[in-house]
């Protein structure tokens, strides 16, 4: 029974994806969203031109590296916020108290 539900979900996802691609082609051909939304066929034709491959690879690497930096900054900010939130939950001497306790006495 599980196989049938997974198969049905896969078929539904494939049909939904095909509908999106067809709508993209129709909207692009009709120019409903202007010249900045080209039809799918012209996008695929543009991606298969050999002399533009270097341009697309360079643009993809720039996008992925920027996304990785943003992901890293978000992870660091989330970790800092979580640690700050956890430290606020537990009562204690606070930051200055920890600094005073960590100093060696002469």
Provide the number of structural domains found in the chain: 1
User: Is the model's pTM score more than 0.85?
Assistant: no
Per-residue pLDDT tens over the stretch 10-69:
999 999 999 999 999 999 999 999 989 999 999 999 888 999 889 999 999 999 999 999
Q: Is residue 83 part of a domain?
A: no
User: According to the model, what pLDDT value does residue 106 have?
Assistant: 58
The alpha-carbon radius of gyration of the chain (Å, integer) is 27
Contact 56, 47 (CB under 8 A): yes
Q: Is residue 105 part of a domain?
A: no
Q: Is residue 59 part of a domain?
A: yes
Residue-range definition of the domain harbouring residue 15: 2-76
Q: Is residue 64 part of a domain?
A: yes
Q: Is residue 52 part of a domain?
A: yes
Above 80 in pLDDT, residue 1? no
Q: Is residue 100 part of a domain?
A: no
Per-residue pLDDT tens over the stretch 63-90:
999 999 999 999 999 998 887 776 666 6
* Rounded Cα gap, residues 47 and 37, in angstroms: 15
User: According to the model, what pLDDT value does residue 55 have?
Assistant: 92
* Rounded Cα gap, residues 40 and 18, in angstroms: 12
Q: Is residue 104 part of a domain?
A: no
Among candidates 36, 6, 40, 38, which has minimal Cα distance to 20? 40
Which pair of tokens denotes residue 8?
């049905």
Q: Is residue 48 part of a domain?
A: yes
């Amino acid at each position: 029974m599980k196989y049938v539900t997974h198969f049905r979900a896969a078929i539904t996802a494939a049909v939904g994806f095909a509908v999106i691609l067809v709508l993209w082609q129709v909207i692009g051909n009709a120019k409903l969203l202007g010249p900045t939304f080209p039809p799918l066929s012209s996008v695929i034709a543009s991606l298969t031109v050999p002399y533009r491959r270097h341009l697309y690879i360079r643009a993809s690497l720039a996008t992925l590296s920027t996304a990785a930096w943003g992901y890293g900054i978000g992870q660091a900010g989330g970790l800092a916020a979580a640690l700050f939130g956890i430290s606020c939950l537990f009562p204690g001497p606070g930051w200055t108290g920890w600094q005073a306790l960590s100093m060696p006495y002469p």
